[in-house]
Structures are given as C-alpha cells and as structure tokens.
Amino acid sequence: MKRWEHFSHQADIGVRGLGATMAEAFEQAALALTAVVTDPADVAHPDMIRICCDAPDAELLLADWLNALIYEMATRNMLFSRFDVHLEGSHLTAKVWGEPLEVMRHRPAVEVKGATYTELKVAQLPDGGWLAQCVVDV
C-alpha cells in the first residue's frame, strides 16, 4: 500500500505519504517532496546523509522531517530519492540517499521554501495503514 501523491492547495502544493507504518508514510511523504521538484525516478542515490529530529507530537515531527530535508536540499544542493526512517516515540532518525542537483538533467520545476502546518496530518487509516501529509510552500 505504500505510495505517495500530491494534493491541491490554491497557491502551493500538498505532499502526502501512505504506508503500512508511520515511518513508511514519512518516507513516502519525503518522496512526494522530491517530486515537487523533479521526478524521483530521475534521482540517483549514491550519496548518503543522516537526519535526526525530535518533536512533541507526530505532526510537528513530520513538519520537522520535511523541513530538515528542505534544509539539506538547499545547503548541499542535492536531491534525495531513497529514505530509511526509524521512529522511536517522538524521535526520528533517518538515512537519506541522493545525488547533487544537476539543473540540465533534473530540470527542477521549483524550489521548496518550507513545510507548513496547513493540512498537516499524521493519522492511522481505517485499514490500519498510515497517512502523513502537509502543504509545502514553493
């Protein structure tokens, strides 16, 4: 059931991850974030970085996770396409793989400014799966 999708916001764009676990939904939301910029299938993943965050609840943790990725994308000038997220309570550790942005190849549609708290939601679905979503400002 793991997958990602975008949803509509009038000025910007929503990212949504779905997975069997909350961690998997966070990984899929991260793929949706990359897909705002370019097709994740075009992003190779030879380089690995680590990300940690802590937050008082799962929703703020999702925003922190996406904001940490946005920060790494901006300061390392990289795109990411593979994610391994571990959650322990409100503590997130992740390994993230990607490659340096190449404008001519990746043709980035837009850069992401930040993950917002608009439509921010982390929830278990009736089928037992998890959803993680928010609108990102572009």
Q: What is the DSSP string of the chain?
A: --EEEEEE-SSSEEEEEEESSHHHHHHHHHHHHHHHHS-GGG----EEEEEEEE-SSHHHHHHHHHHHHHHHHHHHTEEEEEEEEEEETTEEEEEEEEEE--HHHH-------EE-STT-EEEE-TTS-EEEEEEEE-
Cβ 60 to another protein, closest distance in Å? Answer: 7
Among 46, 103, 126, 128, binds another protein (CB under 8 A): 103
Among 25, 120, 122, 132, binds another protein (CB under 8 A): 120
Chain positions 19 to 58 lying near another protein, rule: CB under 8 A, are: 37, 56
Footprint on this chain of another protein (rule: CB under 8 A):
6-13, 37, 56, 60, 63-64, 67, 70-71, 74-75, 77, 101, 103, 107-111, 113-118, 120, 135, 137-138
